[in-house]
Amino acid sequence: MTVLEPFGARLRRAMDERGPLCVGIDPHASLLAEWGLNDDVAGLERFSRTVVEAVAGRVAVLKPQSAFFERFGSRGVAVLEKSVEEARAAGALVVMDAKRGDIGSTMAAYAESFLRRDAPLFSDALTVSPYLGYGSLKPAVDMARESGAGLFVLALTSNPEGAEVQHAVRTDGRSVGATVLAHLAAENAGEEPLGSFGAVVGATLGDLSSYDLGINGPLLAPGIGAQGATPADLPRVFGAAVRNVVPNVSRGVLRHGPDVAALRKAADRFAEETRTAVTAS
């Protein structure tokens, strides 16, 4: 099996070549209806194939949300497997948005499901939750290193409920979110041109200058588009770390479907706006 270049290096190159943009694949029921599709496996497959056909050959990252496929059972997971395969074949990096988190052998099984090179759902990176303790992620960290994959760890999320955990202050005076970022900085120490262990940090959070976002790894930033943030907000939110931001847009692109040309135009616009904002900072 060919050894993969580390995820961080592959991501840096993809963002430089295609623009720093991640497009979500979120086939929830209301969006399927907007596209004129039934809320069933056939509608799911049509939706996913159309998104992959439209943008996988031009954006840096595609991020399928696993839950919207899992709700259809094994047939939905089969659609997800095919979507991942076709997206990667078209040159996009795939971040599986599954937000897995557990301990011991269970975490190891999650890692094998998404990060083992010969797994049907192998993805270039996986979103994970550290809230059973950062150390609980070790099986995923180890598997990612072995496979040339990456992780995006929930650190400072855009949902308001996240603050009660992520902003909580430990006995050492550091917040939980800041502690997660510090762990990731340690994972990425010395990696060039970019580490493979990233954080999820919401683009809607405003001034984050009190946090050290310089983790030498990517920052997956949900909130662009429908949630209210714009590419122009990125330098203000992320400061000196803005070049490593991977803004995620879902509905802002997907609402233009099922027309393939319209989806491409929307993705190209967000990618260019993001590139301009990052370059100008």
Q: Which residues are catalytic?
A: 99
Query: Using an 8 Å Cβ cutoff, are 225 and 252 in contact?
Result: yes
d(CA 119, CA 110): 11
Beta bridge partners of 126: 96, 151
Residues 6 or more apart in contact with residue 207 via CB below 8 angstroms? 236, 237
d(CA 9, CA 14): 9
Residues 6 or more apart in contact with residue 60 via CB below 8 angstroms? 11, 14, 15, 17, 18, 19, 20, 21, 22, 92, 93, 246, 271
Residues 6 or more apart in contact with residue 146 via CB below 8 angstroms? none
Can you state the angle between helices 74-89 and 41-55, rounded to 10 degrees?
Answer: 10
Give the CA count within 13 Å in the CB-facing half-sphere of 250: 17
Beta bridge partners of 220: 200, 246
